[in-house]
Amino acid sequence: MIRVAVAGAAGKMGREVVKAVVRAPDLTLVAAVGRHHGVGEDAGLLAGIGPIGVKVGSDLRQALSESQAQVCVDFTLPEAGAENGRTVLDAGVCLVMGTTGLSAAELAALDRLARERRVGGVVAPNFALGAILMMHFAAQAARVFPEVEIIEAHNPQKRDAPSGTARRTAELIARSRAESSRWAAAASGVNTSEPAPAGNSPARGLLVEGVPVHSLRLPGVVAHQEVVFGMEGQTLRLIHDSTDRSSFMPGVLLAIRRAPELKGLVTMEELLADVLRSPAAE
């Protein structure tokens, strides 16, 4: 049994994690932490599954120490995520980080700390396995299609825009472009008679790694992303929708189970590298 703590246990994603961990036969929930809402209440009651005997505390460091947690799942806010990550890793506990909005420097610092403490973890902007596949396919398509834009939509409560998923997709596309001589050759002949689209204009989206990203924040949306590729006479669209937060839980549970084997922080793409590797490339 892997002993699991949840930071942000009273939030929408935190409650889903609590339910998933309690229902998993090989995991046990030993601690739940929140900052304001839900502190002092039973985490199971907040998650809608009845009392489980684990109350939501407010001190993450104390909760990790007293519970002897092996893995901590963090779904909080960008302003709390980096501090929580440091607390978790400094305590020698594996980290599964779903909080988005952290800077590259903050993530690099967390990875260094994890390696110093000889613990591992998984950091991902999106744990839905379909979203991981969508990002993987987008990186492959970027080797052929010279033009691409991203449209993403989330609920109005999401603090960061563009989303972490959109930013990660743009990063993977940029990396794939840089590695692909075919894209470089194709791009040299695209739209040469027209000026490049204006960057960071409200009508053209925010440029992320050279990719325009358009963010929508609408009620009724959980998570949506569409990656649209274009070249002369054709378009290719990759679409992923999460219609319920339970869609993220298979990936979260996989990350919890694999985290104790790791040293340092990895992405979900790295965790699934063997699955995503194309047989044709071998």
Rounded distance between C-alpha atoms, residue 185 and residue 13, angstroms: 43
Query: Rounded to a whole number, what is the largest CA-CA distance in the chain?
Result: 67
Which of 150, 157, 128 lies closest to 217 in space, CA to CA? 157
Of 11, 28, 15, nearest to 257 by C-alpha is 28
How many other CB atoms sit within 10 Å of the CB of residue 212?
23
Of the chain, the end-to-end C-alpha distance in Å amounts to: 36
Go through 35-46 and write b for each residue having 16 or more CB atoms within 10 A of its CB, e for each that does not: beebbebbbbeb
Q: Quick one: tokens of 205?
A: 């989206």
Q: What angle do CA 33, 66, 71 make, to 5 degrees?
A: 60
Give 6's strand partners: 32, 73
Catalytic residues: 154, 158
Q: Report the relative pairing of strands 206-208 and 211-217 from DSSP bridges.
A: antiparallel
Contact 232, 225 (CB under 8 A): no
